[in-house]
Amino acid sequence: MTLTGPDAPALGFLLYKHPDRVQTFELPVGRATVFYPESRPERATAALLLEVDPIGMVKRRLRSQHGRSLTDYVTDRPYAASSMLAVALGRVFSTALNGRCDSHPELAATALPLEIRLPAGARCAPAPAGTGWPGPELVRALFEPLGWSASIT
């Protein structure tokens, strides 16, 4: 997520994540790390890296079950990245998602020039003929009614 303009350093306040620190959060699916690859007076970028731990997920499930079978080790859950990313975003940025910023409440109530990039999204690629995938239209249908502009490259 990138904020540009004279209020760019306020991104850290809005997200409750300090730009000069790397923060790590343990989650049921692995580890989420928040860091700022860019933090200048006119532009600040916060990044969320989600490291999925498929072995840890299986071990936690085995501890909660009595019987063990091959299905305990063969699962598609580690590859369901979109739902895991949604959980990570909700846990790591819960205060910001609730629209709360105690130190800068006026910023939380202001429209800001935010740019959000998802580096990978197979369902956003042009849909191959006959697949039934919605492609870029889905991204536009989700974000443009909220006032966001959406572009897919």
Residue 103: HSE in the Cβ half-sphere, 13 Å Cα cutoff: 11
This prediction's pTM? 0.71
Contact of 79 with 52, CB cutoff 8 Å: no
Furthest-apart CA atoms within the chain: distance in Å: 58
| Torsional sign, CA 115, 120, 125, 127 | negative
Domain boundaries, given as residue ranges, for the chain: 2-117, 119-153
Regarding beta strands 2-4 and 23-27, do their DSSP bridges make them parallel or antiparallel, or are they unpaired?
A: unpaired
Q: What 8-state DSSP symbol labels residue 52?
A: E
The fold of 2-117 is: c-terminal autoproteolytic domain of nucleoporin nup98 (3.30.1610)
Q: What pLDDT score does 39 carry? A: 93
Structure tokens, 147:
């006032």
* Residues 78-125: tens digit of each pLDDT: 556 667 888 888 899 998 888 888 888 888 888 888 888 876 554 555
